[in-house]
Structure 1
Amino acid sequence: MSGVPMRKYLFLISSVIIAQPAFAQDETDSASEYAEAAPLGSATGNIVVVSTGLPLPINRTGQPVSVIGLDEIKQIQGPDLSRVLSRLPGVAQSRQGGVGSLTSVRVRGGEADDLLVLIDGVRVADAADINNQFDFGNLLAGNIERVELLRGSNSVVWGSDAVAGVMNIVSRIDNGIAASAEYGSDDTKYATLSGGVVQGALAAGLAGTYYDSDGFSRAASGTEADGFEQWQLTGRARYDLTPNLAIVASGRFADGESEFDGYDPAPPYALIDTQDYSRTRQYSGRTGLHYVTDLLTLDAGYALSDTRRRYYDAAQAEPFQYGYKGRNERAELFGRVTPMGDVALDFGAQREWSRFSSTFDAPAKARTTSGHALLGWYGERGTIAAGARYDDHSRFGGEWSFGANGSLNLVSDIRLRAAYGEGFKAPSLYQLFSDYGNPGVEPETSRAYDIAVEKGDRNGPLFIAVSAFRRDSRNLIGFASCYGITTGLCATRPFGYYDNTGRARAKGFEVELAASPSATLRTGATYSYVKAVDRTEGSFTQGNDLGRRPRHAVAAWIDWQSPWLLALGADARLVGDSYENVYNSTSLDGFATVDLRASLPFGPLELYGRVENLFDAGYQTAAGYANAGRSAYVGARFKI
């Protein structure tokens, strides 16, 4: 961790861990679709869907799953979702500037596109993106009720993209009206408004956010501020038609404009201040039916996700430069049969239609048909489950995926768990059909292993977990240069094309701690060691670290509810050195940041404030791109 004195790291660690904080437990999901699923025996803790596609108690899976709920999101404060995700083990993030800029999330050494992202169960990856990646820069924290993260491959349930993990983000439903407004550094304005009703057969809510900031120069060498403006609307509803049958629906719309910097056209082609900006419009939604009895659970629905990006250069007479459109539609069925006791068969079938187009590329489309089954025993002393999936892609053919996981309750609330999962990632439409596409490219595949011992629940009085993992990936898709080559695909793609070019391995371990020694104190910390290296035989990068994957990362936080109603909290994040790319030619120095928080309630009204990056650390998570220095914000929120 070059560039930061060791004494500062020791001070930060001690200040976070010694102080013993606290707060309330995560709130139960308001719409109650989690609680009304087949319970699979008695269980404690959160109910999640990332393991099987249907609600499952978190202590009934052998897979590594973490949950951050609404109370914790409120305590962290602010619109920046990256500050929430930094508490999750195994997570590394890179961002090309401030809030609203391209934000990539990598789990356990995987690439950003190896993480399957769901919002209210809808797959939201950008079908027009080169790698089919979701940009977290377009998602603000104000509309979010909970975040579920499964770390590891789980293509048995989710199919393509679930290589390094699965993240499900659930939109909030407030039983009443809630609002907040804050103002701070860089003339930043942020407001949220939500309302809903949870009564009888109906649970429905609508939430909106607005964000506007002058920002700062995204180019670390620049001086011109690059701003971001976005408004976002989400909704989620459930209505019980009968005691066993409900209709469910959700939707999200986001429209934003983001300024960014480009590259100097002259050598050395450095990132400089420019007048470039982009407009991104996203909408996604799902509607379906949810049926639950003691024997059978069914969840059938239709989902879509659409992303449109347009890029402009204000310095040109005609500002519009180019644009992309991507769309996914999906018809899906998840089911569970519980024929006897703790035995359950989870199954499902999906049909997906994807298409993309751009200013430079002709429209292209593909379809995928898939089915899966997962047989499990979920007992009081332990669980075991195993399953298989088959995906048939209209462009490259079929792919099988297998997986298994189990857990054993040793003594008291200590349990041993283990998981094996296979993952695969279908080539993106851009990699198949763009001007640099290769119709013969094959899907990426992986095999992941995980073993852990844990005590308690992350949101309980005491939680301790230690896990070790390894993932081997093959057929990684990369760009093959055609420099000096005129045969084969290079005859029609003189600049190069996408092909299966590499192999990689990621391995490491994670340590998680959380404690609530009293009703007013809570503390937590995570440490992640991730070694992700290139294993492409014969390549001159063989053995090099993969880009933007720091080997060491520590996150720690405290919260204290004082006797005078004032609540105080702090977050610290320590990240080790890494490299910008697999060539290891450009280093990214490690860094440390500390955020301080406070809030004071006055009946239904609460005043709050925070200081981010207290020590004004200068750092980069993507080479050449700046991050915010010391920043301060104040705000108010209420709920009635």
Structure 2
Amino acid sequence: MSYKTALLSAAALGISVPVFAQVSELEENRLGPVIVEGSRLDQTAAEVGSSVSIISEEDLEKLDYDFALDAVATAPGVTINQNGAFGGSASVRIRGASSGQTLVLVDGVPVGDPSTTDGSFNFAFLDTASVERIEVLKGPQSTLWGSDAIGGVVSITTKEPETGLVGSVFAEYGSFNTLRGGASVEGANDTGDFRLSASGISTDGISKADEDNGNTEDDAYESTTLSAKGGLNLPSKARLEATVLYNDAESEYDSYSGGAQGNVADGDQVTQNETLAGNLSLQLPLLDDRFDNLFLVGYSDIARENFTNGAQSYFAEGDRSIFRYQGTFEINDLNTVSFGAEREETSANGENADTDSLFALYELKPVDSLTFTAGVRNDDDSRFGSETTARVAAAWNPTDQVTIRSSWAQGFKAPSIFQSTYICTFCGLTEPNSNLKPETSEAFDIGVDWRSADGGLQAGITYFNQDTENLIDFSFTAGYDNIAEVKSQGVEVFAGYVLTDWLSVNGNYTFIDAEDGNGNELSRLPEQSGNVTVSFAPDGPFSGAVLIRYNGDEANTNGTTLDGWTRVDLTGRYALNESVELYGRVENLFDDDYQQILGYGTPGLSGSVGIRLRY
């Protein structure tokens, strides 16, 4: 039986019995004890030594994001690049690290594509309809999650079922003949829970190659996403749970054209992308709930197929299997240890790579206000041998209003299957580079968060410094080789203020100074970026928000400079009653003409309106 069949069968088992609903942490005030799942110790936001941004379900709804990419872009320290709107290849970078050094998890399962050059995840197709929260852990997290986490981790959690039997339906229409809709049904009781959802989008789109350069052909996009999640409560507080997320997307894109801006112009190109990710887990608490045991099997598969003028021009498929055990033992109120083992099996186009890992974490709380965390991990790669990483962190809350945090960590990324098997025939080579080594990093950060006694005002600042060595890049002498290094440092600032019961403002700003080993500025990385959100929810049926996004000047790969830009978006919601809601969005209010990547266009003034029914 194939992994895909087994995964879908497990999901069917998991959702066949409704379970009791657990209280959502996201219903708490954002300044309250939100649990950071990516810490692997279920620490609260006030206990985590690393800098972390949490994008809640409330945030996703308030700003009416269709794609997770747009939500992640609002986190300080995060940079996105997309080759044109509506399905253009999209990458996420954290604190200047490359997209291949950003580990992406969906319900704890890595979903990077093993068949791509650097094994990165394409954010272009990830719809928010089934997403409950997104955590962005910044800085090396390899001790927690293994390879690929040099820059940080984007951990995505799909929605949990609600109590009772409920459902929702939504539909919207917008610019560029865009149709989007979806439905969900969910239920929960003392026995089990389940949630099923489906969403889809179809649009005529815009030209991927900037229309200002004479490109008049619109590039269409359509996508369907299916999600299933369910669990069964077993005796002795044990729980069996299964999740599945499936996406099928087709996007038109434009062709390589030498001499055109960005070397891109109108062309008849289509890419089809199919993604499947899921897991089956068993949580088994022992010793009066002091010893929690998690057994998890996860699987992800991504298949990509390109067509030129209707004929197949490219095909690639990569899959990943995860086998994980984690035990967490609360020795007493002061000491907690966590340990585990993982095996990861990846394959891409007939090539395979396996990694066996052991890890241990220790949490010490000598007093309620102070949390120390330390960890060590060893990853044994079948191709490149063993790599050990370590991490220490601390969070101190000298008063109820202040949190001081700091962390030091190491990171590593094993060469991708593509990089380690590529033979550059036009370079005169007959075999892959046998001297290729993993990329490694070392970083530290320190920050302080402050909040007023009434919770109405908050602010924080974090300084980070990271060195990455043995970066892999293309070389005409060796194919792919360890030929680069990067030094990055910077500051992340955030602030929020509740002006009245119905009006609040939040903002963040990031400064990143990132250079390669020769002192050259990294391309496609703004030195300055920031966001401001003004939210209003007066008494009555209406609420809304204004989002201002700023992206500073960037260096292009050809040595020129891409101009910075500022974009203003508006969202509004009107509740007709408890069950029916109208909503709308205006993007790029002032019709700013800008590019995220040289030669690729972005939408001008545009928008959409929709209706949502909850029952």
TM-score by length of 1: 0.87
Q: Tell me how large the CA RMSD over aligned residues is.
A: 2.0
SS of the residue aligned with 2:331?
strand
Distance (whole Å) between structure 1 residues aligned to residue 348 and residue 455 of structure 2: 45
1:372 and 2:359 correspond: yes
1:182-197 correspondence to structure 2 within 5 Å: 182-197=172-187
Q: 1:238 to 1:460 in 2, by over 3 A?
A: farther
Q: Distance in 2 between matches of 1:47 and 1:208?
A: 28
Partner of 1:426: 414
Deviation at 1:294, TM superposition (A): 3.1
Q: Report the equivalent of 2:229.
A: 236
In the other structure, the counterpart of 2:494 is 512
Are the equivalent residues in 2 in contact too, given 1:369–1:393 (CA < 8 A)?
A: yes
1:615 equivalent to 2:590? Answer yes
Q: Quick one: structure 1 residues 239 and 269, their matched pair in 2 at CA, closer, same or farther if it must change by over 3 Å?
A: closer
State the SS of the aligned residue for 2:70.
helix
| Consecutive unaligned residues in structure 1, runs of 5 or more | 1-29, 36-42, 358-362, 483-488, 490-496, 536-541
Change over 3 Å in CA distance of 1:609–1:109 after alignment to 2: same
**Which residue of the other structure, out of 515, 521, 525, is the alignment partner of 1:549?**
525
In structure 1, what is the equivalent of residue 506 of structure 2?
524
1:336–1:346 Cα contact (<8 Å) kept: yes
Query: What is the Cα deviation at residue 248 of structure 1?
Result: 1.2
Within the alignment, does 1:449 sit opposite 2:444 as a pair?
yes
Please give the residue correspondences for 1:517-596 in structure 2 after superposition, counting only pairs within 5 Å: 517-535=499-517, 542-581=518-557, 585-596=559-570
Structure 1 residue identity aligned to 2:538: S
For 1:233-632, list aligned pairs within 5 A.
233-264=226-257, 270-292=263-285, 293-314=288-309, 319-357=311-349, 363-378=350-365, 379-436=367-424, 437-456=432-451, 461-482=456-477, 497-535=479-517, 542-581=518-557, 585-603=559-577, 604-632=579-607
Contact 1:86 1:555 in 2 (8 A): no
1:226 alignment partner, SS class: coil
Contact 1:562 1:568 in 2 (8 A): no
| Aligned with residue 122 of structure 1, among 93, 109, 117 | 109
- 1:69 corresponds, among 52, 56, 69, to 56
Corresponding residue SS for 1:73: helix
Which deviates more, 390-399 or 92-101?
A: 92-101
CA contact (8 A) 1:86 1:573 kept: no
In the TM superposition, what is the alpha-carbon distance from 1:454 to its structure 2 partner? 0.5
Task: Give distance in 2, aligned partners of 1:132 and 1:274.
Answer: 27
State the AA in 2 paired with 1:72.
D
> Pick from 107, 111, 123: which aligns with 2:98?
111
Q: Which moved more, 1:408-417 or 1:299-308?
A: 408-417
Q: CA deviation at 1:460?
A: 5.3
In 2 relative to 1, CA 297–422 (structure 1 residues): closer, same or farther, beyond 3 Å? Answer: same
How far has the Cα of 1:554 moved from its partner?
1.3
Show the counterpart of 2:38.
50
Aligned length: 574
CA distance in 2, matches of 1:333, 1:31: 25
Which amino acid is the alignment partner of residue 251 of structure 2?
S
| Residues 422, 480 of structure 2: 8 Å contact kept | no
Single out whichever of 460-469 and 163-172 deviates more from structure 2: 460-469
- Cα pair 2:86 2:251 within 8 Å, conserved: no
CA shift for structure 1 position 431: 0.3
The match for 1:40 is: none
Higher relative contact order (CA 8 A, sep 6+): 1
Q: Residue 141 of structure 1 aligns to a residue in which SS?
A: coil
For residue 590 of structure 1, what is the amino acid of its counterpart?
Answer: G
2:373 touches 2:393 (CA, 8 Å); kept in 1?
Answer: yes
| Whole-Å separation in 2 of the counterparts to 1:196 and 1:268 | 49
Contact 2:104 2:112 in 1 (8 A): yes
Aligned mates of 2:534, 2:32 — CA distance in 1: 24
CA distance in 2, matches of 1:187, 1:234: 25
Out of 81, 90, 97, the residue aligned to residue 84 of structure 2 is 97
Closer/same/farther in 2, CA of residues 304 and 529 from structure 1, 3 Å limit? same
Name which of 218, 222, 231 aligns with 2:208. 218
Secondary structure of the 1:74 match is helix
Percent identity at matched positions?
Answer: 30
Letter in 2 for 1:515: Y
Say if 1:433 and 1:439, in contact at 8 Å, map to a contact too: no
Contact 2:262 2:600 in 1 (8 A): no
Instruction: Give the letter aligned to residue 237 of structure 1.
Output: G
Partner amino acid, structure 2, of 1:615: F
Q: Which residue in the other structure is 1:199 paired with?
A: 189
Preserved CA contact (<8 Å) 1:34 1:55: no
Report the Cα distance in structure 1 between the residues aligned to 2:134 and 2:241, rounded to whole angstroms: 19
Structure 1 residue 227: deviation in Å? Answer: 1.0
Cα distance in 1 for residues equivalent to 2:502 and 2:23: 30
- Partner residue, 1:539: none
Q: TM-score when scaled to structure 2?
A: 0.90
Q: Which of the numbers 140, 153, 156 marks the counterpart of 2:140? A: 153
**Is the CA contact 1:171–1:235 (under 8 Å) kept in the aligned structure 2?**
no
Cα distance per residue 1:86-118 (max 9 Å; x no partner):
221111111100121111111111111111100
The verdict on how the C-alpha distance between 1:197 and 1:290 changes in structure 2, with shifts beyond 3 A counting, is: same
Q: Give the Cα–Cα distance (whole angstroms) in 1 for the partners of residues 456 and 233 of structure 2.
A: 35
Q: Unaligned regions of 5+ residues in structure 2, if any?
A: 1-19, 26-30, 425-431
Matches of 1:525 and 1:44 in 2, distance apart? 19
Q: For residues 169 and 562 of structure 2, what CA distance do their matches in structure 1 show?
A: 39
Residue 34 of structure 1 contacts residue 48 of structure 1 at CA under 8 Å; is this kept in 2?
Answer: no
